[in-house]
Amino acid sequence: MRKIHVPLLRGIRNLQSLRTLNSPERNSAVDVFRAVAIIVVALYHFKEILPLGYIGVDLFFVISGLLVGGLLTRSFANDKKINFFKFFLQRGFKIWPSYFIFLGLGTVIAFYLAPEQVIPLWDIKRYIFFYQNYTGAPFHWSFDHVWSLCIEEHFYIMLPVAFIIVQRLYNKKEALFGLVGLVIVSGIVFKLLSLWFTRSQDTYSGTHVRIDALGWGVLLNLIIVYYSQLLKRRRSYLVSLLGTLMGIAAVVVFCNTDSVYYKKVVFHSLIPFCFFLMIAGLYYYDLSRLKLLRFIAYYSYNWYLWHPLLSVIFRHYIESTVVGVVCYLGISFSVAVLFTTIVEEPFLRLRKQVINRLFKPQLQYSYRSQ
């Protein structure tokens, strides 16, 4: 049977090969998990389809900790020093351009299509300065998903500072493991304390109560850097299977309990650990054949930014039918491709030029920091 060559599909395949499959800096397992995370989060806004889809944010946190931790542990392992300014530039060029374009353009779109979603002028400062996650329950659902970006921005400040302190006081890998262990434990303890003393939104969106998820990602990176042989064993996939089974069990219990303690503390402490196990067990497996998921992963950041606004518009004008959800996913992903191409990629190219000009070029880490 002859193959039918469709120019658009061929172009997509070439695009995918260029940006994803042929990049030696990307880990295929991390890409697959990132794609799963964004799909789950995107479907969460149709709660009748995936009511617990918000756990995809926990998966994003673990992946972010893994990738961002890689920038720091690589510097610590190779150079015995950490350049905070370089690190912040790397993250800023990745996060800020797409984020602020979304805030500005998204506000204009919301003004015409969903005016109740527009951020009041007196509230905009909490989005600009990344403290929206500490200002109470969200009211503008098209924009308040950025609470997770606030947490990551806070983490991007705290983690390098903590690494620099450890480097100057101890300069040993054991101290890094101790630091990350403290981060994980503190996040769990703060969840418990927040539930006891506040019973507020802070038990979900505060940086101090979600930092353990990022800590699990950094811990995985430390294991990759210093003890990679543990993840290269013949049956390491069993670790991923264990994490999957634990995650399923945690969700089943969540759906069948009324315990606030379990839902606010245990569940949100256990799920990141499950994702840690799942990624660890498959990290050195070649998942490059899952091309569609890896293609989706490349555009996950802008998809995350734009999907809530588009979901609100779709829910307002189109019922939550199968056709409506498929259209929402297709259009929101297309928007992500557009803004990745015209905003994110140019700034990433500029980042490379700026970093190479300001700092001596070094060998890249084994996966690209997203």
pLDDT single digits (tens) 26-35: 899 999 999 9
| CA-CA-CA-CA dihedral for 71, 73, 75, 77, to nearest 10 | -150
Residue 363 lies in a domain: no
CA–CA separation, 248 and 220 (whole Å): 21
pLDDT single digits (tens) 175-199: 999 999 999 999 999 999 988 877 5
**Is the distance from CB of 221 to CB of 73 less than 8 angstroms?**
yes
Q: Given pLDDT bands bounded at 50, 70 and 90, which one contains residue 78?
A: low
Average pLDDT over every residue of 8-12:
45
DSSP assignment letter at 87: H
pLDDT single digits (tens) 159-175: 999 988 888 888 788 99
Average pLDDT over every residue of 227-239:
91
Task: Please spell the DSSP secondary structure of 249-262, one letter per residue.
Answer: HHHHHHHT---HHI
3-class SS string, 172-188 = CHHHHHHHHHHHHHHHH
Residue 366 lies in a domain: no
Task: Provide Rg for the chain, Cα atoms.
Answer: 21
pLDDT (0 to 100) of residue 247:
97
- Rounded to the nearest integer, the mean pLDDT of the chain is 85
- pTM given for the model: 0.89
pLDDT (0 to 100) of residue 112:
82
Residue 6 lies in a domain: no
Residue 15 lies in a domain: no
3-class SS string, 185-213 = HHHHHHHHHHHHHCCCCHHHHCHHHHHHH
Average pLDDT over every residue of 238-265:
95
Q: Tokens standing for 309?
A: 């606004």
Query: Other C-beta atoms within 10 Å of 213: how many?
Result: 29
CA–CA separation, 260 and 263 (whole Å): 5
Query: Other C-beta atoms within 10 Å of 19: how many?
Result: 17
**Is the distance from CB of 250 to CB of 274 less than 8 angstroms?**
yes
pLDDT (0 to 100) of residue 366:
41
CA–CA separation, 42 and 241 (whole Å): 25
Residue 4 lies in a domain: no
The amino acid sitting at 107 is T
Residue 13 lies in a domain: no
Average pLDDT over every residue of 288-303:
95
Query: Other C-beta atoms within 10 Å of 149: how many?
Result: 21
Nearest to 333 by CA among 288, 295, 287: 295
Alpha carbon 259 to its chain centroid, in Å, reads 28
| List of residues 6+ apart from 162 with CB closer than 8 A | 179, 183
Q: What is the span of the domain harbouring residue 128? A: 27-358
Residue 134 lies in a domain: yes
Residue 330 lies in a domain: yes
Domain count, the chain: 1
pLDDT (0 to 100) of residue 257:
93
pLDDT single digits (tens) 308-366: 888 877 776 666 677 888 889 999 999 999 999 999 999 999 999 998 888 765 544 44
